[in-house]
Chain A
Amino acid sequence: MSEEKSSKRGSVLIVGGGIGGMQAALDLADSGLKVHLVQKETSIGGIMSMLDKTFPTGDCAMCMISPKMVDVGRHLNIDIHSCSEMVGLAGEAGDFTATILKKARYVDTKKCTGCEACVQKCPVTADSEFNQELAKRTAINRRYAQAVPGAVAIDKKGVSPCRIECPAEVNAHAYVMLTAGGRFAEALEVVRRNNPFPATCGRVCTHPCESGCRRKDLDDPVSICQLKRYLTDWEDSHGGFTKPTILAEKIEKIAVIGSGPAGMTCARDLRLKGYQVTVFEKAPVAGGMLATAIPGYRLPKDVVRREINTILAHDIEIKYNQALGRDFTVEDLKKQGYKAVYIAVGTHKGIKLPVPGDKEPEGLLDCLDFLRKANLGEPVKVGEKVVVIGGGNVAVDVALTAKRLGGKDVKMVCLEKCDEMPAHKWELEQVREEGIAIDNSWGMDKLRIENGKITGLDVKRCTSVFDENKRFNPQYDACELNFFEADTIIFAVGMGVDTSFKKGIEALDLLPNGRIKADPVTSQTNVEGVFAGGDSVSGPTTIIQAIASGAQAAESIDRFLQGKDLHVDRKKVAEREKYTKDITGIKKVHRKPMPMLPLAEREGNFKEVALGYSEADAIAEASRCMSCAGCCECMACVAECQAKAINHEMVSEEKTDLNIGAVILAPGLDTYKPKIRGEFGHGRWPNVVTSLQFERILSASGPYQGVVTRPGDKKHPVKIAWIQCVGSRDPHNANPWCSSVCCMYATKQAVISKEHDKSIEPTIFYMDLRSHGKDFDKYVERAKNEYGVRYMRTMISAVREEPGTGNLVLRYALEDGSLMNETFDLVVLSVGLEPHKDAAKLAEISGIEMTSYLFPKTTTFAPVDSTRPGVFVTGIYQGPKDIPDTVMQGSAVAGQAMALLGEARWTETIKKELPPEKDVANEEPRLGVFVCSCGINIAGTVDVAKVVDAVKDLPGVVHTENTLYTCSQDTQEKIKQLIKEKNLNRVLVASCTPRTHTQLFQDTIREAGLNPYLFELADIREQCSWCHMGQKEEATEKAIRLVKMMIAKVKLLQPIKTETVGVTPACLVVGGGVAGMTTALSIADQGFDVHIVEREKELGGLLRNLYYTLDGSDVQNFLQSRIAHVMSHPRITVHTGVEVDNTDGFVGNFKTTLTDGTAIDHGTIVLTIGGVEYQPTEYLYNESDRVVTQRELEKKIYDGLQPEPKERYVMIQCVGSREEPNQYCSRVCCQDAVKNAIELKERNPQAEVFIIYRDMRTYGLREDYYQRARDLGVIFVRYEVDKKPVVEKAGDRLRVKTWDYMLNRELVLDTDWVVLSTGFRPHPTAEKVGGNYKVTRNADGYFLEAHVKLRPVDFPSEGIFVSGLAHAPKNLDETISQALAAAGRAGVVLSHERLAVSGLIAKQKRELCMSCLSCFRICPFGSPYIDEDGKVSHNEIKCHGCGLCAGICPAKAFQVNGFRDEQMLAMIDAAIDCEEGGIIS
């Protein structure tokens, strides 16, 4: 507001968008500070969004948090940075620079409409984090239906190892997942993207993918290779291959020489790009090695033929019997107009070892020749005794083929040892299976030839094959010789390039071994326009390598012909980050065995040995895939997304710097993970769940739709046990602190489960019941008495599963020591809260100090300030707490940031500039109706064209059209344009729910100059297409009806003028205790005037009787400095010794008169009237000066009390608390007792201190002190309210008698002191003050906030706030937090010069009013009031537009804007077709 330019930034960074972070964001943004909300997950909402209901009111958590999320999401001055983290923070309070690291969402949040069409198509599923692993989610997903931002996101963790391994980059992950889903055609399409040989590779690929498969470390790799074959089998039996459409035909001709896998891949890839391709093949058949070298029993020849035909079906020409160098030259090709040539002629020359003599003996064969003849059915003679020389895969093929061609005794002889053999293990297995011997470590010495015929082979022992450099360099032992008799010897020792093609291209450079010299990245040769690949470049490799080579060349040739750089941006999958999945705990499932042809049926034929999977087996096998990297990049989502929002190419990580004035850390919590130590069998027994899992089980949107179900067998449990303190209050094994909320949430869960299913019998096993919050004890009493929840005070020593039933047996000791076994159907572990897993890292980045428990260091007096100025901490990050305390602290940090940056308000916020509004009030209605398809979300069920037709000619409708996504940016622009072009004056969109989209469209029509209230939405998605799927006709009828009803309403809509009122920038604080002073200081620091009114003569309130805190800080010092600070603040006026006489007015414009006559104008009010301590009458308090209260003892200690040895102090808890008529916990007494007990024991360890208690409620981090008191020897004795201790006089001492439940007898303690832990009572003036301000109080007399969970410092009446003891008993740090929160909330109002009044409010026609006062009585906000003339007037500023007044008013004097009677009745009339004045048509 200040005119001078501030040196401080007017913006705040909030880390964490849970309920606390959201509250802070809304408060700050509403008060003129720009907010950057950084959220690691894809959506804000935090843990609260996962909860089913909340305690103690049983409200639906999602219903409460969802509107708040929507508010945050569409706030003009809140930028949500989702999928982001803060990774650096420089600068100082007022001017920080934060570095934000944003991870890719792979979805454009601006384009995504949240229709989730992609989700239906995603083949990948993983455990849903949101549903706590009780349900599955897809890789592209929305965290939950109400997520904000509403865009989906892709869970992508890098690349799965199977994909990394494939040289041709075939996306195994994707086609396996699609196969698992039975989507065979799509799966095959994915394979074919990179591999035109799925049937071939599905049989004979060396499947490097399987070597990468993560399952190999668990059981067996997924049978990826064979799944491809299944896909082609399926295709063959389902109509065969469908030729794809070539999108862009090109005129350039390309020649491919060689029709092996490399050549054909290159040809097909180029053809798909639109080129005209001709393949030249030397042989009379196509396929290269596939056709000529691989035996039919592995790869049937008709399979190869079909595969080649499939490729040729892309309109690729092939010329057989055409050899380069023999029949044509490259020069010829160029002349014929070929623009590029790809040479992939393979290695078709078998290498032979030197043979004596110049004539080849009979019976000596080379492998390729042999295999080609066998494959092409040419005659080939095989003797009875066959020796195959070689140990590779080709040797195996040769041996098995020889066997089939009649070889009786077939033997393989090779240099290598058994484990060195280059042939694959699975190949050798078949060799052995078919009875072929392998003789290892022999090298050929010489062939024995008699009469020109082979008779055998002399061999010598090979001692080593490779030298130390792993080069082939065989060494022999000439002394160890052997002889193998043979009539046929086949060399299978290698293959080379047949260089006869060189004649066709003399300029081409070859390597000395005959291979073609080509660039390894681009496949270019030394001849311009000539490329080469496959085995003729690399030497013999694998089919998949050849395919990769062909694809690489195709890419190069395309670039070459398009004149592009051949090297840049060649993205390789293998260069991307490999994701290695954690496989611990994953169940073993072995691979489905491949059915094989029985041995007996293999003899003498070339029938295929592997028979292929059945459909069921293929799906089962594919389902073994663990989907390592999340998203499989099948791109099904991209194809499905009509909004074009998905982009798999997004940069995975991006850093940006943000300049801000303050930082708020609200990263929230993690729950303790009982799985880690296997505690109580979680993770082992399915029917043991965590409390968060149980929340999801209870939730209507959870895995079981809210039906209480146990995960193990989906049965309905009857007996449910809750085990408390799992991971909490356990310094030895887990976290030492108390998590503060578990007792209550367990109670809530027990109650809610009973509400879901009356037959449930809940039992809660606990140590101390900590229901210390406002109205919590009453809730527990109701749980016990009305819902029959059984509470058992005992610790569970063991949980075990009953074999066969899935039930769980709990073992525990009763208080008398007897051991019990009890069986339950379901066990819920009440897991504790702990700092977020990133807490330590966050603290380090933020430069703040932590406690040893990894909570940020804060103090009682400054509970939300970290050790670094300008960095504030809030919520569970600051310490375990419940939702209202978190929300409260959210407002508190907002208040602190406002106090720091108040002067820079409105400097960084944006405001929309809008054109003037057109006056349409007197125009005839001219409607624009837009019927949304929402992709297929609506159009898939509702015939949208029919809807358009049905309404387009209705009177008043000027324009009707169907739009794909009405909420998209371009449609918004179109709507604006149409408003202008066709002079539309009212707009109706028939699409989704008005709850999320109204404001968007209202803004749009306002930008086109229309009043925003001339708009309506007809919900034909959530309330029609989505709930009437498969009923197209009826759903269309309903949609037409809904649109007609809404048209009837829209025609009657009138522009609504929204009013504003001025704000007096001052605050009245009633009460000058610590809450009042803290609130006042914060508001004054924000730059507003504050008046404190204190009825006592001095400030300080109850704090004047407090001396030190649990952590040992000096309270009186703090109090004095705070008073001094208040007294000296230039903006604070203190009025002591007076009270408020009267306050009048409304938010922004209050007028108050004090009892001394002072008049104050102010915009807000904070009630901090505090409470009083209970004055006991029991336990001889008024009869003995040795019976004192804790407060009195504290004063004695502060004054220097030194206990004597053996001096005994017996403290009695819950004096005046937790029993009728004061059935509430005073929250502070347990720790006060512990605090004083520690102090006594520290002053004299020999002093004796007993604390007689009901439940020790040292919640949160206070648990440490309870532990310390026990360590110091303080003795704790429990009592029950029906057996309260008795205090008697015993001479000059006192005697306390109490029942000891452990000893099971009465305990008699003679004592020097009895110390009573007395609680709080509401302030005696609360009733009067409450009456003054028309604010309500709860049954105990404390002020009742507007909403127990989400508005903990507000009253229903705007502009009035509460903090401190006036609200409920609480600790000093909590009081200060709440006081800061009230300041933050008040700051939101005071920071505006004028307040806008909502348009959707009730309007009163005063002349109709008969002053019956019905409205006055029913209005919850006090809007109608009795005016000076005795008639009712209506204060529109207070009105919330609920319309209760309109509903009750007999004179119809009230009408609610946007819901006027004539509008409602028009809708009702349009709901059914009627004859004029008649009934049903």
Chain B
Amino acid sequence: MKVERKIQVAATPTEAFAKLSDVKVLASLLTGLMDWTATDEPNRFRTVFRAGPAPLGGEIQLEFWPEAGTVTWQSTKGVHQMGRWLVRPRDDGSEVVFRIFYHLDGGIASRLAEWVFARTVHRFMGIALTRLARSIEAQPPRRRRPVTA
């Protein structure tokens, strides 16, 4: 299953990539992330996501490609997944593309689960891109409307 979302940001590709290449910023973008711990291997992290009823554990290997404006990851444990952050130049700034490919072992039930799960993943990716855009454009986070009596 492939899920893709994109967003326009008012910053140069270099500025946008600088944000993405910071691992702490990258972790802060992801919704449902319960654990993000560096392992002994360089750029390898133990991750735990809240996915439906139970936490989803795994390990990912990050790779940075500054020339291509790309940050990718691939799972080394847990659910088979690949992800990509891609920064492209645009006339009025940059475009950040966020893609996730994932695969669940099994038959028809697994395809159905992928499809059901895709809706949540799609929503979480949208939130991550909005957070990234705010972070790059240095906008304050949206505040809740104060509760009136």
A binds B: no
Which residues of chain A have a CB within 8 Å of any CB of chain B? none
Which residues of chain B have a CB within 8 Å of any CB of chain A? none
